[in-house]
Amino acid sequence: MIHHHLNDEMILAYAAGALSVGHALVVASHLEICPHCAARLADAEAIGGAMLDDCDESAVSDDLFATMMRSLDDPDMEYTEASVPADRSMVKTAGKVHVPALLASVIGDDFDAIRWRTAGPGIKQFVLPLEGTEGETVRLLKLSPGFVTPEHSHHGSEMTLVLKGSFSDDTGRYRVGDIQDADDDVHHQPIADTDEECICLAVTDAPLEFKGVITRLLQPIIGI
């Protein structure tokens, strides 16, 4: 069961094709395995299309975005989850953890075949070869069971999608399919909290701000 979903702004930005390459990849990967958000996207596209059909092209109001968001927040809105695929958050392909299709087009369909780079004891990473906006980095992170990430905050935003295992921090627990959207107000220290490794897909638009002296000194080397 997925508990942490995309916010309305991210759904609408994706529907409008307004996301950066990295954020679009993370959002698309979440949408593939989250029927709830896939249904919200379908509704957003339907609402947007209906609104545009009812408007003269030259008379689109400045609050169209806000109006769409209010529609998505409507408690009477019934998401059409029956029209989207069944929950695939725990799907495995040929005995392997499922890799979302768009991500697989970049890295292949087998996490074990990736040439992981050790970033420190208990953590490995693979930076995806994508040409995103300036400052944006998309990477896969693999955390050993029980690994505690260095305490950090953010100079910008960090969106993380869990693909295997889970992690916890002060904001909650994040399992397969869950999204964590952290900004410069979030100060945390995620922990891989199961007896299996935790693999996440993450996009950042600025370097993290580590609190420990040693970690800050190593940051230019490990590239996080």
177-216 pLDDT per residue, tens: 999 988 766 666 889 999 999 999 999 887 656 555 445 4
| pLDDT in the model for residue 187 | 64
pLDDT in tens, 43-90: 988 876 555 555 554 444 455 445 444 544 554 444 433 333 444 444
pLDDT of residue 188: 66
Domain that holds residue 118: 109-222
Structure tokens at 16: 């409008």
Considering its fold, how many domains does the chain have in total?
2
Q: What is the pLDDT of residue 119?
A: 85
CATH for 17:
1.10.10.1320
List alpha helices for 74-184, DSSP H. 101-107
Residues in the chain: 224
Reduced to 3 states, what is the DSSP secondary structure of residue 206? coil
DSSP 195: S
Q: What is the rounded distance in angstroms from the CA atom of residue 211 to the CA atom of residue 187? A: 10
Mean pLDDT, rounded, of the chain: 77
Last residue of one domain, picked from the residues 48, 83, 118: 83
Which residue is associated with the tokens 């040409």?
131
- Tell me the pTM: 0.75
What is the domain-level CATH number for residue 171?
2.60.120.10
